[in-house]
Every structure is written in C-alpha cells, then in structure tokens.
C-alpha cells in the first residue's frame, strides 16, 4: 500500500476551472495547500491527495461555493481517465467486463483507491473507497469524483441520459437542494461502508456503444500499434471461429507478427490474446442469440466452443447472464 496517497492532477482541473471562472485567487489557494500553481501543465502527473482535498475544502469555504464536489463532477468527462483505462473500457464487449477493468485499474487513477462490485438482489453496487482515509474530512469531494466515473462508464453502454437509482457516500454528506433537483429520481445515501452507485443487473450484458476517441501513442516497434492489433484481431477472428484455427501461434502468423510481439503489444494495453478471443466469441454468440432462432448448442459450436457447458460458463462470465437468459432479455427489450 502506498505510504503517500496520490491522485492524478486531472481530477483537480474541474475544481480549478470553476475557481477561475468566478475570478477566485486560484494560484494563491494552490500555493497555500502546497500544490503546484501551473496545474494545467502537470495534469497528467500525480499529486499528494490529502493536500488536494484540503485545497478543495479551503476553496469552497473561502469562495462560498455550495456543493463544490458535485459542480466539479459535472465538468469531468470520460477523457479525464487514463488512456489505458479508456482503452480497456472501449474494448470491453459488455458493461460487466468494463466495470471489472475499471476495478482493476482504479489504483492507477488514485494510488489508494480500490473498486469492486457487490451484488444486491436485482442490482449491483459499483463500490469505491480510498484506503487509510476513513474518518478524514473532505472525503465527499473525492467520492463525488469516484461515483461520477462509475456513472460515466455505465453511460458508455446504457446511453448518455442514464441515471443510477441510488448514489451513496462513505462520508456524512447531504446534497444541496440544487444538486437534488439535477438528479430528481436518484436516492442519495450517506455514512455507507463505501461510495457506490446502483446498477440494474439487466444492464450488465449491454454491448459497448462507446464513441470515446483518443489518440494512442505509437511504440517504437515497426508495424501496427497495440490498438491496431486489437482491431485487426477483432475483424479477423470471426472468420476462423468455426474452423478451430484460433490458436495464438496460428493467429500471430496470419496477422504477420511473431507470437511474442503479439503478446507484448496486447499487454501494452492490458489485454491478453484470450481476452480478445473471448470477446470475439461473445460478440458472435450474442448476435446469433439475438437475431436468429439457432439452438444454443449450435451457437456454441459456431462460436468455436466444443463443449456447450464451457460456452455457457464463458458467456455468463462476460455478460452476467446465461445464453438462454440473454436471449429472453433481448427479446423482451
């Protein structure tokens, strides 16, 4: 565990932009909290978390800003996440997989941030917590940022207008009337075991509809970048699923790279070849389940599985539901 809690400078930019818009002495407030004044130039760097929280609290009190955390959260967007996190989410076949990637990458956004998924009847809770900060003041600011990113991830799959049924805070926090009016159908909870948002289980199998764009840096190797390789594999593999020629060595040869190079390029964006193959198989199977009346056993064979039971387990791992439940949900929808 990190001895010095750190956060990315990106997460302070929305607070700074609000202060700049109202003509506040932003540089003086940053300096008073022992933070760099040229924050915009250092937004990709890591800053000490506790001085950052003190800066936000001092700024809210001195400038009389109500619900500073909520206002800053409204200025955040998907691109504030690390490029790697965005890439993993953009290549996730379902919301469930995207949320799992977000949980795995959380500590790289804030060094002491942990995220996990809890099941609760017909919903799941996407939970987050900052370690070793329990009981500290000003956590409500960080928790708004934590929760809003969970909301933004779900919106990549459920659409830009999606709202959770509940948003919870670990701190003793009550949103202002103005905040509540902006989220009229959302239930706010405080003093919880973690910050969390509620997501219906029925949404976990939603396919990716992300339009987020980013320009990945090229590595120094010749040939396609890691991101190009991902797209190449997703385009190429469907033609080979029912021919049982999807072994890594065979696919690397077809793609024109060595096995080791392919593995290294995929590892660069946090993916393995099995991740890509599972995604392609899932997308192929979900199309057949939605658009045809093929028997589930035939869907399994067509997707490259020799064991229907293995297919069902793999499908549920990605979507949160069985192939039969998926077909029923898609037809109801």
Res. 221 pLDDT band, cuts 50 70 90: very low
pLDDT the model gives residue 322: 94
The answer to whether the beta carbons of residues 107 and 7 sit under 8 Å apart is no
Rounded (5°) CA angle 279-284-286: 90
Of the candidates 88, 107, 111, 83, which has an alpha carbon nearest to the alpha carbon of residue 99? 88
Average pLDDT, the chain: 86
Gap between the Cα atoms of 283 and 267, Å rounded: 22
Tell me which residue has tokens 């991101």.
227
Residue 333 above 70 pLDDT?
A: no
Kindly list the structural domains of the chain, giving each domain's residue range(s) and its CATH number in brackets, ordered by start. Answer: 6-203 (3.90.1520), 226-332 (1.10.10.60)
DSSP assigned state of 5: -
CA 174 – CA 8 distance, rounded (Å) = 26
3-state helix, strand, coil in the chain (%, to 5): 55, 10, 35
Q: Please state the rounded mean pLDDT for residues 266-295.
A: 90
Q: Has residue 281 got a pLDDT over 90? A: yes
Rounded percentage of the chain residues whose pLDDT exceeds 70: 90
Predicted local confidence at residue 2, as pLDDT: 45
pTM: 0.82
Q: How confident is the model at residue 134 (pLDDT cuts 50, 70, 90)?
A: low
Task: Say if residue 218's pLDDT is above 50.
Answer: no
Report the pLDDT averaged over residues 298-307. 93
């Amino acid at each position: 565990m990190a001895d010095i809690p750190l956060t990315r400078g990106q997460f302070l930019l929305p607070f700074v932009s609000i202060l700049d818009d109202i003509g506040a002495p932003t540089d003086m407030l940053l300096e008073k909290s022992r933070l760099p004044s040229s924050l915009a130039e250092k937004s990709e760097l890591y800053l000490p978390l506790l001085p950052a929280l003190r800066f936000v609290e001092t700024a809210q009190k001195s400038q009389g800003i109500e619900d500073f955390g909520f206002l800053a959260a409204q200025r955040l967007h998907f691109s504030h996440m690390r490029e790697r996190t965005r890439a993993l989410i953009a290549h996730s076949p379902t919301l469930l997989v995207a949320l799992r990637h977000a949980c795995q990458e959380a500590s790289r956004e804030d060094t002491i941030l942990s995220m996990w998924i809890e099941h609760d009847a017909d919903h799941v809770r996407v939970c987050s917590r900052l370690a070793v900060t329990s009981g500290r003041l000003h956590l409500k600011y960080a928790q708004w940022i934590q929760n809003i990113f969970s909301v933004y991830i779900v919106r990549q799959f459920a659409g830009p207008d999606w709202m959770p049924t509940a948003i919870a805070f670990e701190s003793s926090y009550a949103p202002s009337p103005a905040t509540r009016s902006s989220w009229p159908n959302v239930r706010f909870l405080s003093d919880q075991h973690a910050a969390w948002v509620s997501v219906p289980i029925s949404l976990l199998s939603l396919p990716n509809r992300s339009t987020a764009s980013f320009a990945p840096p090229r590595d120094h190797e010749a040939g396609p970048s890691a991101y190009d390789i991902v797209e190449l594999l997703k385009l190429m593999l469907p033609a080979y699923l029912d021919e049982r020629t999807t072994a890594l060595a065979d696919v690397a040869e077809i793609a024109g790279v060595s096995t080791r190079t392919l593995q290294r390029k995929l590892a660069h964006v946090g993916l393995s070849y099995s991740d890509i193959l599972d995604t392609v198989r899932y997308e192929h199977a979900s199309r057949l389940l939605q658009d045809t009346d093929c028997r589930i056993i035939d869907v399994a064979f067509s997707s490259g599985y020799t064991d229907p039971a293995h297919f069902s387990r793999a499908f549920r791992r990605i979507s949160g539901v069985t192939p039969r439940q998926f077909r029923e949900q898609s037809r109801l929808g």
